[in-house]
Amino acid sequence: MGRVRLADVAAYAGVSMKTVSNVVHDYPHVKPEMRQRVQEAIDALGYRPNVTARRLATGRTGMVALAVPEIDHPYFSELSRRIAEHAASRGYRVLMEQTLSEPGAERAVLRDREEGLVDGVIFHPVSTTQSELARLSRDVPVVLLGEAAIPLTVDHVMIDNVAAAREATEHLLSLGARRPVFLAAVEGDVTVSTDRRLEGFQDALQAAGVRLPSSHVLTASDFSPQASSEAVNRALDAGLDFDAILCRDDQFAVGALSALHARGISVPDEIALVGWDDTALSRFAYPAITSVSPDKAALATSALDLLLERIGGFHGPGRHVITPHTLAIRESAPAVTEAARPL
């Protein structure tokens, strides 16, 4: 237990508290012999600094909050890990928060900062409006993640969704796909990310001179793989003719894959499939699913570094960083080996 206090060490070593503090903090101007004497006292007494007292004295917590919709969603848990690891290397710790996309919980995120729990917040908003975000993040170090409507005044990190969708679609076309569908929209969904990805999808089709009816955008009832399966089955039952699917995320991709498997449709031979987020879900599926892969490490480091700058006192206008993405090519939409083969 935190029984031993700085004062105890000071008394034991016969020096002032401040000197002990200086030793603890590796302050340079301490004579080696003094440093050693104090260190011995620290070791002898088993002293551990009390973080809370330090925080109160310095006003800094050494913690940042990471607020995401669901902490056990593969994308977020993988991203969290990256952020936590990068934070550790910068001497920070991460407090994870789950908002479940609820407005109340999202609003509460910034309260942690106000209450001095953390020095800043990395936040993936879903339901908070742009203007509310702008208002709430006044004077609070915040970095936003994701593709919701983000106010220009707030720092923001994301990948180029339009380009990523375009590239994924081009990849499908290069495989010989001519009638791809976008499994994307969710009924009642208002997220901007879907729009951006759809835009890239259509850009690629247009550039390739492919013209498709709007029926080639599939809609699921919610964000679950089951809903995705149903959407694919509905399309198939309705006789929709398609040879590739670009999914808005990996959960949709595994759902689509199930539906295709169940019908005995070969992936990628009959229908090629691309997911999004490059999570464990796509890596471990069979066949392994090609997936748009945001550079999670870059996302993590960019977001944290921007945040730490804000915490450090930076007061400039919102920075908007685009981090790299790639297409993680796997079996569900493999690399073109020979000439584009017709599907």
Partner DNA sequence: CCGCAACGTTACAGCGCTGTAAAAGTGGTG
Partner DNA sequence: CACCACTTTTACAGCGCTGTAACGTTGCGG
Task: Closer to DNA by CB, 25 or 138: give it.
Answer: 25
Query: Which residues are at the interface with its own copies (CB under 8 A)?
Result: 1-2, 48-53, 55-56, 61, 70-72, 74, 77-78, 80-81, 84-85, 93-96, 98, 111, 114-117, 139-140, 225, 251, 254-255, 257-258, 261-262, 280-281, 284-288
Task: Closer to its own copies by CB, 49 or 176: give it.
Answer: 49
Task: Closer to DNA by CB, 16 or 153: give it.
Answer: 16
Select the binding partner of residue 90 from its own copies, DNA, none (C-beta < 5 to 8 A, by kind). Answer: none
Helix (H) or strand (E) holding 202: helix 192-207
CB of 28 to DNA, least distance (A): 6
Query: What's the order of all strands across the beta sheet hosting 120-123?
Result: 93-98, 63-68, 120-123, 142-145, 155-159, 320-323
CB of 84 to DNA, least distance (A): 23
Q: Read off the tokens for 161.
A: 């969704």
Query: What's the order of all strands across the beta sheet hosting 325-328?
Result: 217-220, 180-186, 244-247, 272-276, 290-294, 325-328
Question: How many Å apart are CA 202 and CA 235, to the nearest integer?
Answer: 19
Question: How many Å apart are CA 103 and CA 67, to the nearest integer?
Answer: 12
Cα–Cα distance list, 185 to 205, 214, 218 (Å): 18, 12, 7
Site map 42..71 versus DNA, x via CB under 7 A: -----x-xx--xx-xxxx------------
**Diameter of the chain by CA atoms?**
86
Select the binding partner of residue 254 from its own copies, DNA, none (C-beta < 5 to 8 A, by kind). Answer: its own copies
Residue 28 binds DNA, judged by CB under 7 A: yes
Question: What residues does 327 pair with on adjacent strands?
Answer: 292
Question: What residues does 67 pair with on adjacent strands?
Answer: 97, 123
Select the binding partner of residue 26 from its own copies, DNA, none (C-beta < 5 to 8 A, by kind). Answer: none
Residue 25 binds DNA, judged by CB under 7 A: yes
Q: Do 217 and 230 contact (CB within 8 A), yes or no?
A: no
Window contacting DNA (CB under 7 A); options: 29-37, 159-167, 245-253, 302-310: 29-37
Select the binding partner of residue 30 from DNA, its own copies, none (C-beta < 5 to 8 A, by kind). Answer: DNA
Contact residues: DNA, CB under 7 A: 2, 5-7, 14-19, 21-22, 24-25, 28-31, 34, 47, 49-50, 53-54, 56-59
